[in-house]
């Protein structure tokens, strides 16, 4: 595993982190979940991303991860970074009451005393930013979080958040935006702001909700996320998008990688990106994703060819939060 420094902080994160958004709810055997988490740790993944609305039902992923910690992984607590709580039933709201209550509930579900990174997952247009950032600062001051981060904030609001936190004496450690070859919004201004502020960047959905895999090259297979209502919209599977995916798949084959591996490696090509957050439904899938690190280099010709097809594709489900 490669480790990258998170902005100008002293913290290093693995180049690939594991998210528990999918596959860690009450509908999946805990034994399989334990195998995935343990294998991830063995592969050097020391950063795990959780949220209070991960399931199903809400809270289930935290409870299951707490069970995995209690059954043995907990003895490695000092070797782990994670437990990133995204506030709100849909990760949107930022009031002081909700954030701190949410954090307390998450700590209880997981059976831990503190989290490493506490996130404001989305900008809340109805709550003053000073209140939301002040609450993140309070979590650190109370010893319930070591660091704080934000997710899906625009470049301008990221600057404002960093300034507010800095004035309170708490550094903004990290920003977690969506980013993939089909969703490149962070390249316009956000990466520049993060570099200027010394803030790390962990990108989520580098596989574009699974679109940047070989799964949909020939339609929607049974059991895929797109076959389940509410998990992945089939509206994303347009002819134009699938043409791009097939072309990118061909480039990946020429590189000796799967499309998923190339997609992950591509997000890590920029040194401003600290880590790529991936999911996994099985140990083999996890291992295949981590194998992306075996070939991170891209030639200028490869990047130019990728740019022909790696264009905005209307798949950013979080665009409203990062606007303005």
* pLDDT per position as a tens digit, 176-199: 999 999 999 999 999 999 999 999
Using CA atoms, how far apart are residues 49 and 296, in angstroms rounded to an integer?
23
Token pair 């994670």: residue: 82
Environment class of 114 (CB within 10 Å of its CB; exposed 0-12, middle 13-18, buried 19+): middle
Q: What DSSP character marks residue 256?
A: T
Helix (H) or strand (E) run with residue 151 in it: strand 145-151
Q: Which residues contact 286 (CB under 8 A, 6 or more apart)?
A: 18, 36, 39, 40, 43, 278, 280
On the question of pLDDT at 127 being above 80, the answer is: yes
Helix 259-267 and helix 283-290: axis angle, to 10°? 50
Structure tokens at 26: 């009450």
Q: What DSSP character marks residue 17?
A: E
- Read off the pLDDT of residues 16-49 as tens digits, 9 standing for 90 and up: 999 998 899 999 999 999 999 999 999 999 999 9
Q: Which residues contact 25 (CB under 8 A, 6 or more apart)?
A: 54, 55, 56, 57, 60, 61, 64
Backbone torsions φ then ψ of 14, nearest 5 degrees = -65, 150
Q: Quick one: pLDDT band at residue 95, thresholds 50, 70, 90?
A: confident
Q: What does the pLDDT read at residue 252? A: 98
Structure tokens at 53: 């609305």
Is the Cα dihedral 295, 301, 305, 308 positive or negative?
Answer: positive
Asked whether the beta carbons of 149 and 178 are under 8 A apart, the reply is no
What does pTM read for this prediction?
Answer: 0.92
């Amino acid at each position: 595993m490669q480790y990258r420094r998170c902005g100008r902080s002293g913290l290093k994160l693995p180049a690939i982190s594991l998210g528990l958004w999918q596959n860690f709810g009450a509908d999946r055997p805990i034994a399989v979940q334990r195998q995935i988490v343990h294998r991830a740790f063995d592969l050097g993944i020391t950063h795990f991303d959780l949220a209070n609305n991960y399931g199903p039902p809400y809270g289930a992923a935290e409870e299951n991860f707490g069970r995995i910690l209690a059954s043995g992984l907990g003895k490695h607590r000092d070797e782990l970074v994670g437990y990133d709580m995204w506030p709100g039933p849909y990760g949107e709201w930022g009031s002081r009451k909700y954030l701190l209550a949410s954090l307390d509930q998450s700590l209880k579900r997981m059976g831990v005393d503190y989290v490493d990174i506490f996130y404001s997952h989305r900008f809340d247009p109805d709550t003053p930013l000073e209140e939301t950032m002040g609450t993140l600062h309070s979590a650190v001051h109370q010893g319930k979080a070591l660091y704080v981060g934000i997710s899906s904030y625009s470049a301008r609001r990221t600057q404002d958040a960093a300034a507010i936190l800095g004035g309170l004496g708490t550094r903004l450690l990290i920003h977690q935006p969506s980013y993939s070859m089909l969703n490149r919004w962070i390249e316009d201004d956000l990466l520049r702001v993060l570099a200027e502020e010394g803030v790390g960047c962990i990108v989520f959905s580098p596989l574009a909700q699974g679109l940047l895999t070989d799964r949909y090259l020939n339609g929607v297979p049974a059991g895929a996320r797109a076959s389940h209502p509410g998990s992945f919209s089939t509206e994303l599977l347009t002819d134009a998008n699938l043409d791009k995916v097939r072309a990118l798949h061909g480039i990946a084959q020429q590189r000796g990688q799967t499309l998923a591996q190339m997609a992950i490696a591509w997000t890590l090509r920029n040194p401003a990106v600290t880590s790529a957050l991936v999911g996994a439904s099985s140990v083999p899938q996890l291992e295949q994703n981590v194998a992306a690190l075996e070939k991170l280099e891209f030639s200028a010709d490869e990047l130019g060819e990728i740019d022909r097809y790696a264009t905005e594709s209307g798949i950013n489900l979080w665009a409203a939060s990062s606007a303005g």
